[in-house]
Amino acid sequence: MRGKEFMAQNLSEVLLSEEQIKQRVHELGEQISKDYEGKDVILVCILKGACIFFSDLARAMTIHMQMDFMGISSYGNAQKTSGIVRITRDMDLSITDKHVIIAEDIMDSGLTLTHLTKLLSSRNPASLRICCLLDKPERRECEITPDYCGFIVPNKFVVGYGLDYCGEYRNLPYVGVLKKEVYSEK
């Protein structure tokens, strides 16, 4: 059986526990609610990696808002994006004159979010901000930082809480570092 124990065996360490994540997501929800009080907000989930973070963040927010979803796929291998981003599913809502917050799992090179913010800015939102669960600033290749960030993480490949390796590990309730041998074997 390849259950959660199997997934845990492939990790070298647990970086962020379920409890740590829960507390921080709650703080982010409170902060964002305070900053956007009285505004028309659209929270956008970047599929698939942000799905779990997005669901918890939305419930930690106490303001009126709408939700939408965007599917993105970037060419490259499992550990590194090429920066060439393809929209696999666009949003349904119009964001013109709305306050848009992008919920993303992790900012790594920054290429994906640079591309995405350019695209969404062209639709003339009232404002556009990025909320990332994780930030790996050591790997940055362009000038971009998240407006809201859950945790700064070291330059290691992490999985869980929505983050995947080849589509797997997303359902781990915590964030762990994937053992090097796991991704060098494939």
Catalytic positions are: 108
Nearer to ligand IMP, 49 or 150 (CB): 49
Binding to ligand IMP, residues 113-172 (CB under 6 A): 157-159, 163
Q: Which region, judged by CB under 6 A, interacts with ligand IMP, from 24-32, 36-44, 62-70, 105-113?
A: 105-113
Q: Which does 110 bind (CB under 5 to 8 A by kind): ligand IMP, Mg ion, none?
A: ligand IMP
One residue of 11, 32, 49, 125 binding Mg ion per CB under 5 A: 49
Q: Which residue has the tokens 């505004």?
A: 39
Min CB(109)–Mg ion separation in Å: 12
Q: How far is CA 137 from CA 18, 19, 89, 131, 185, in A?
A: 23, 24, 28, 14, 27
Residue 81 makes contact with ligand IMP by CB under 6 A: yes
Q: Which residues of 74-112 are buried (b: 16+ CB within 10 A; e: fewer)?
A: eeeeeeebebebeeeeebeeebeebbbbbbbbbbbbbbb
Q: Indicate whether 56 belongs to the interface with ligand IMP (CB under 6 A).
A: no
Beta strands in 25-121 (DSSP E): 41-47, 65-76, 81-89, 99-107
Handedness of CA 84, 111, 182, 175 (dihedral sign): negative
Q: Tell me the number of residues near ligand IMP by CB under 6 A.
A: 15
25 binds ligand IMP, rule: CB under 6 A? no
Instruction: Give contact residues for ligand IMP (rule: CB under 6 A).
Output: 49, 81, 104-112, 157-159, 163
